[in-house]
Each structure stands twice: as structure tokens, then as C-alpha cells.
Structure 1
């Protein structure tokens, strides 16, 4: 941020020393009251982000039923955000207050390197979730990613993130100015191109604009499918319940993406303007602009746990369990964090299958309303009676074996759990 750094040569006499001191004087010193206000604001980010995201990681990893494809990416997202908040937010604030670096050359390199990698890993995780939701809803018959494949994708995301951020690590250095030390990136100069501008434009495209475009298209198609279309003839309660659950998950992720987009837009605009109009950043007021833009960008790391808690029943139950000792936290049912029992799932699945069978028969036979109702009640009654005696001996209406119905129940139950339904 120090746009007054133009030379690092040693002064040759008193006159040049005085001129250099005037050139490098630190115009970013702030009054104490302003420092205190900014310190409170940035401290709030760190506390809420680290505690909230660690809790999210615990909720997912400590409960087997929460370990789905979507939630593995949420773990990666929470890890990236908690790490960036813990390792960079406070340091960035301290450096921005007086524009003086206290932490050595090695941490200077890490400080410039890690945020780019963390932001890239975060937005790639959100993009992977959007594509996973797209495949699950638009192409439900295609095979979903396994846990191993999901972990491989996360590993690839971090490898690409580290490669993208490596130039910032390689060219970062510190310099001793009269009265202070600064941390900056000493970009190479080429006659054919401006490497610095090219790099920042590529970073803005790869960690913001391109992923948001992909997620916007994916969620637009998913939203039109879930909200603007209905399956003819299928109005069963179970179907509506599953449809509403999918809508809740997609709605939660759309809120997460929109929050990220709003928080990081001023940051990318700020640095893109800095590349093309550097003279605007020589004024003292730019420090307050920078602190505001950086605070908004860093605050994106603390909103996601709040969004999960407000919009997802299982995460809400997990947060209540994690903070049950706090007097301000209301008592909740910890059982809500896990899916229902296997018997409950089988019973609910049988009802769902019965409603689907009723819909198929009604579409083919087109019976009258009374006959339609009697047929549905008869099928539902037979399903409940069979489940009550022995779920393993349940039969379908056409007399198929219990082995095939058990397989169907298992696959359907897996589908419910893999979509991280709130109920």
C-alpha cells in the first residue's frame, strides 16, 4: 500500500538524507481513538470467524451423517476462511495502521502469499458445491462423487491455489526505509508486458469473476428447476417435503455466494484501480478507504457460520450443542443433528414409494377421484402393515421380492442423506 517507495539507495550526504526522509515520511499515522475503533472491528472478525468456522468443521466431521459431498466442501471452505482470518487479518490490520512492518521477511512472504491461496480455495469450494447441486438436481440419475473423489478434488483445489499465489511469495521482500520497515512485492519489469498488471487481472478473473459466472449459471438453472417447475401428478406430502428441503439447501448456498460476492467486490475494484491509476493512492485518506475495503473483504469469513445456523436445522442443532453452556443459547434437540433412525427412514421411504406408485397408476389408468383415493389408501395401508410386522419382509404391490425392495430402500435413504436435508 506504500505508494511512496521509489528508491532504496543509501543517502550520500545530509541534504540527500533530509530529502529522502521527506520522501519516505509516514503519512499514515492515525490518532489513537481511530486505531481503537478499527482494532475492535477487526478483532470481531477474527473471533467470530475462527470460533464459527471451527464449530462448523466439528459439526460435520464429528457426525457421520453430516459427511456428505456438499459438507466436505463446506469443511474446506471453513478451513480456508478460519486460516485466513487467524493468520492474516490481524497482521494486515497492524501493518495498515502505520504502514510499518514488524514481522520479518519470511512472514512478509507468507502474508502476501496465503490470502490469495485461501480465497481461491474458498471460491473453488463454493463452485464445486454449485456444480454438485446442479448434478444432483438436474441429472439425479448420474453417479455422484464419492468421498475419495471429493477429497481428491479438494487436494487439486489447494495445489492450484498454491500455484496461483506462488508469484506473490517469490517476489515478496522487505526494505528498510528511514524510520520504518516496509513489506512489499518487488515485481519484475519486462519490456514486452507489465507482469504486475497482468497478474492482478488474472487473479481477479480466477478468484472472483469467472467462478461467480459459473455459480450464477448453475444456480439459475437449479433455481428454475426447483421453483418454476412442478412434476405433473406428484403432489404427495413426502415429495413436497423433499422438494422444500432441496430448496432450502440451494437457498442457503445462494446466500453464501451472494455474501461473498458483495464482500469481495470492493477489494478487487480497489486493487484493479490501483494498477491503472496509482497516483490516486498517494493521498492520506486512501488509508481509511483501504481499511474499510479490507475489513469488508475479511468479514466474509465470519458470515458463513451465521448463515448455516440461520438457514439449516442440523447446523442450528450443532451450534446449540456446541454452545449449550452459554446462558443466552436456548435449549434444543441434539437429535436434530443426525438423520432419523433406520427404521424411521425405511417407513418414510415406503410412504414416499407408495405415493410415487400411486402417481404412476393415476397417470396410466386415469381413475376417478374416489377410486384414486381408495387405491392410494390401500397401498399406504399395506406398506405400513408390512413395515410394522417386519421391514425385511416388505413386498411391493406387484409381488416383487423383498431383496429388491431392500435395495431400493437403501439407495433412496442414501439419496436423502447425501443431499444434507434439514429435516
Structure 2
């Protein structure tokens, strides 16, 4: 007599923060490369754990669609379901646009981001990194997450979007209020949405060398003439949200690795290669975006030995796929700058390559400037005391307390 098959796994709980790799191994052992899971309110879905299976799902946008209207669970979803903002019912952003319109919309975003000068981008990141470090460099101690990583990406993105530097702090507050998901989340979202619409109106009047102006430039051509200001504003919001939290976590997770792993200790002080190596390892082993919702089966099919019904929701298990033992037999994925990870997704709906490059410049510059300015940076608590946000979606530290020898401020002064 055999035991009952393991039931669906709740996609919640502390293990996603404390031991996700072990949890994914157990799910793969019990369920194979495609595991049944339960979202908030016991809503069923599938989590794609296998590297090959995830490649199949993300590479076939017809069978595994981004159209959330296909979901067979909509009749059971309450109006206050907490994951609605993530799933996207009738949302106008590019995340849930499909087909030819998605292709043109993605091209508009890529065109705008490709126009960002990489040398200017790095200069912007250096400027804001120096200004933020000036706030705490004389104290000898700080929390890198709250006082640095969670502030830097938005400031840089705001400048390349075309916002004035005076608007930057308000956008930082709005974005972090949205991430906190507490009582100020709605106010943060409203501030961000209003700011984007005002930015677009300003750039119609006075275009510049910035992302918003480049998107409007596409909008005014024959190919983009049916894109509305509201759609551009939505896409700017999506890009800022997607570029802020994961990049902040990329900075935090990479610094945690460099401060806790002996392999990086010898080259920590000014070692440029060690920064790149740590950042690449994080994308494989500790990727900021762990799981993504989602794809919907457009018809009945089979995947990883499972029968998938039309309208079923599939979640992309990026972190689990990165650790799939079928592709990680010798650890070589971590060497030589191997970028075959799923940290940025894959296929038609992946993070656009220019957006990946922007995130990498911001993160790497932020880390390098910090280590240059504070060369004896060290953890202020035992490594085992560091905690993670209890989220199955984004993986990042709640704080990263550090100490260092107090140093003078730079020439930029305090940006407050």
C-alpha cells in the first residue's frame, strides 16, 4: 500500500525567507518539475520548477499566454484579493498586453531605454550614490538597505526618465510606500501615477534627452500613433517598479554575499572583478525575483508530466529553475559570467535587454562607489542574524547593518 500523494504546497510561510532552496528541492522531489501550489485564499495554481519546463512555458506565448482574462478562477476571486495587483485583471500596462500590440509596445520601451547613454547613466548613479553615502559616512554605522539600497535606484531612474532632481525624493517615498503595502500604499501609487502623467504632459510641451521624451517620440510616429499618454504612463510606472525593488535587492544581496563569503574577502577592497562575480552569483543563487505570476494555458496541455487545464495559472519559478539539478551538475553556471539564468525571465515577455543593462549599471555602480568610499565596510551583526522579507515573490534583506571607519563627506554634500 502506498501513501497518499503530497497535496498542493501553500505559496506562503517563513521558509520562503529562511530556506527557499531546500523548499524548492522538496517540492521538486514530491511533485516533479511542475508543482501544485495554493495562493492566498487557497486559490490553485502551478509552480514551474524545472529549467527546461520554464524555458518551454516562457518560449511559447501562444500556448502559455500572458492574457489574464483566460484565468479559470476569476469567478472565485474576491474583489479584495491581496494578489490582484500582481495578477492583473484588465490592467492596461504592457505586462498584460499580448500579440502584435505587445511587440510594438515592447519595442517602444526598448527604443527609449537604448537611447540612455551608459556613461551618463553611470555618472548619475555615482552622483546619487555619493550623495546618499554623505548622509552616513561620518557616523561609522548604517543600515545599507534602508539608507542606501532602497533609495538609490529610484533616484537614478527618475533622472533618466526626465524628472527634476527636486521630484526625486517624493518618488522614492511613493515607491517605497507602495512596496511596504501598508496604509500609505494607495497614496504612493496615486503620487506615482500623477507624477507620470504630469511628466508626459511636460515632455509634450518641452521634450528632452530622456526616456519619457523618447517614448513620446515613438508615440508620434505612424507605428506608435495609437499609443495613448495613459499607456505610456502605465509603462513608465511598470518600468520604475520593476527597476527599483529588484535592483535594490540585487545591491543588498550582492553586498551580503561579499561581506559574508570568504571567497570575496581577499578582493573586497577595490576588487572590481569581485563585484561583477558576486552580482552574477546572486542572479543564480539568490535572485531578487524568485517567482513571477504568471502565464495562463490557452488550451488543455501537458507540462512536466502534469495535465494542465485551459485557463490554469502557471507561476514562473525563476529561483527554482536556476537551481535545477539537471543543469547544475558541476557548479559551472556560476563561473565565467554565465548568464543563462532566469533572473530576468525569458522569451517575449522577459525583462527587455536595455532594462537589464540599466539595472546592472545602477547596481554595480552603487556597490563600487560604496566600497570605494568605505573600504573597511563590515557587518555589524553576525551573518546568521540577517533576516529576509517573508515573501515568495521578491527575495531581499529586511536590513543590512554595517560598520566602518567614519570618513569625510564628498564634494556633493547632503542631498536632503
TM-score normalised by L of structure 2: 0.27
Greater relative contact order structure (CA < 8 Å, 6+ sep): 2
When Rg is computed on C-alpha atoms for both structures, the one with the higher figure is 1
TM-score normalised by L of structure 1: 0.26
